[in-house]
């Protein structure tokens, strides 16, 4: 008889993430170092468990109008069809067309952190994205409509009591369309998600990191493939 258990595997995945986030909070003394530690935990989760068509990195995002986003803690982007990703002295810059999702990673969630994450997400969504017609054996498909960019926040704990309640939903609602957060994980307490009608569902549960990962993958599946990037729109910035 097999000793494998899907419940134990899923539980173990969450417990590993929560434990590593807690260690980062307790043992890393400098605030910046703690932040880097938390970001790395989430990045490693996505780099390990997302399908290989996706990549997860800390990065800036750029568009063909020479506009840049703020630095984003976790950028999930296409690598299969993206023709270029800049890597300058270890700092990555990713074209806006390649982006599927962006997340801010912090130790704790509170109203200030949510506002900060909303600003970060808006700085990406406000960028211009190109979409070219797609040639195929029988002719040409029209340009792919631009997918909505998933935005969210990743933390270890909450500063509110209860951790997931009205103060959280009030803070989430206080943003314009560009800054709306779609998904969030508070590893010690639960997760939240925004539906297509703009309503937020709070899910206090025992394995939020795993639940969040599965919901993210499900949402990425619905986005299919990124649009065909107009490389010439970027090439016009070449100068002698």
Beta carbons within 8 Å of 40's beta carbon, 6+ residues apart: none
Q: Could you write out the DSSP letters of every residue in 96-110?
A: GGGEEEEEEE-SEE-
Residue extents of the structural domains in the chain: 30-235
Three-class secondary structure of residue 78 per DSSP = strand
Q: E strand or H helix at 139, and its extent?
A: strand 139-141
Beta bridge partners of 91: 88
pTM, entire model? 0.90
Closest CA to 209 of 4, 37, 28, 38: 38
Rounded mean pLDDT for each run of 10 residues along the chain, 240 residues in total: 75 81 67 65 92 95 97 95 87 96 96 97 98 89 94 96 94 94 95 94 88 95 92 88
pLDDT score of 240: 58
pLDDT score of 36: 64
Beta bridge partners of 129: none
Phi and psi for 219 in degrees, rounded to 5? -70, -35
Which residues are identified as catalytic? 73, 104, 106
For residue 202, how many C-alpha atoms fall within 13 Å in the half-sphere facing its CB? 13
pLDDT score of 133: 93
Give the rounded percent of residues in the chain with a pLDDT score beyond 70.
94
């Amino acid at each position: 008889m097999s000793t494998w258990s899907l419940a134990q595997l899923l539980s173990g995945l969450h417990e590993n993430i929560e434990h590593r986030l807690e260690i980062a909070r307790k043992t890393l003394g400098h605030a910046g170092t703690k932040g880097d530690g938390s970001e790395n935990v989430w990045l490693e989760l996505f780099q390990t468990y997302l399908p290989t068509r996706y990549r997860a990195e800390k990065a800036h995002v750029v568009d063909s109008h020479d506009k840049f986003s703020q630095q984003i803690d976790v950028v999930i982007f296409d690598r299969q069809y993206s023709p270029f990703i800049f890597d300058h002295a270890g700092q990555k810059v990713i074209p806006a067309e390649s982006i599927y999702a962006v997340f801010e990673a912090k130790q704790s969630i509170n109203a200030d952190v949510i506002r900060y994450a909303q600003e970060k997400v808006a700085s990406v969504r406000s960028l211009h994205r190109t979409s070219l017609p797609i040639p195929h054996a029988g002719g040409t498909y029209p340009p792919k409509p631009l997918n909505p960019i998933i935005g969210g926040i990743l933390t270890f704990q909450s500063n509110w009591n209860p951790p997931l309640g009205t103060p959280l939903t009030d803070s989430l609602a206080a943003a314009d369309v560009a800054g709306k957060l779609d998904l969030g994980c508070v590893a010690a307490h639960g997760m939240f998600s925004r539906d297509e009608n703009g309503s937020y569902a709070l899910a206090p549960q025992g394995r939020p990191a795993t639940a969040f990962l599965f919901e993210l993958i499900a949402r990425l599946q619905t986005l299919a493939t990124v649009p065909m990037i107009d490389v010439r729109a970027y090439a016009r910035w070449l100068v002698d």
